[in-house]
Amino acid sequence: MTVTDGGEFLLLGLTADVAPGKNKAFQLNGHDVLVCNVNGEFYAVRNLCSHAEEKLEGGRIRGHCVVCPKHGARFDLKDGRHRTPPAWTGIATYPLRVVDGRIEVQLNPQDPPAPGRVAASGT
Ligand code: FES
């Protein structure tokens, strides 16, 4: 197993578990991690909306954002930044890599960029 500055990468699941345009929640060592598949690119974020602490699992994927299924806030999967209200802060992200069809993450969540200016939406 590879050890990096952020700690070990741990097996979370398989890429086949998360279809393109979908997401799936995984629990590992007390972390609730949402893995999103954006056209074959995989991202891992904390499965908890910063607005009212609802689960993000099942939220639509739009571009590189996940849409909270409860009230519709969008979060950028690349860095966890919030993109639209009603959320005013972002969500944590997890370093993720794919090795031979396995999704591996480091369980050291990265804070999103500080709240404030919302960057122009990308894809
Ligand atoms: S709980 Fe996610 S937008 Fe309200």
Closest C-alpha to ligand 1, atom 1? 52
Q: Which residues 6+ apart lie within 8 Å of 69 measured at CB?
A: 54, 55, 56, 57, 58, 59, 60
Q: pLDDT tens-digit profile of 17-76?
A: 999 999 999 999 999 999 999 999 999 999 999 999 999 999 999 999 999 999 999 999
Q: Among residues of the chain, what percentage have pLDDT more than 70?
A: 89
Strands (E), the chain: 3-4, 7-8, 10-14, 23-28, 31-38, 41-46, 61-62, 65-67, 74-76, 93-94, 96-99, 102-105
Sheet (strand 23-28) strand order? 23-28, 31-38, 41-46, 93-94
CATH code for the domain defined by 3-103: 2.102.10.10
Q: Is 74 in the pocket of ligand 1 (CB under 6 A)?
A: no
Query: What is the whole-number distance in angstroms between the Cα of residue 88 and the centre of ligand 1?
Result: 10
Task: Give one word for 72, left, alpha or beta, with left for phi > 0 and alpha for psi -120 to 50.
Answer: left
As to burial, measured by CB atoms within 10 angstroms (0-12 exposed, 13-18 middle, 19+ buried), residue 33 is buried
Cα distance between the two ends of the chain: 33
Q: Is 51 in the pocket of ligand 1 (CB under 6 A)?
A: yes
The answer, yes or no, to whether residue 106 has pLDDT greater than 50, is yes
pTM score: 0.89
Residue 7's pLDDT band, with cuts at 50, 70 and 90, is confident
Query: What is the whole-number distance in angstroms between the Cα of residue 116 and the centre of ligand 1?
Result: 18
Q: Is 54 in the pocket of ligand 1 (CB under 6 A)?
A: yes
In the chain, where are the structural domains located?
A: 3-103
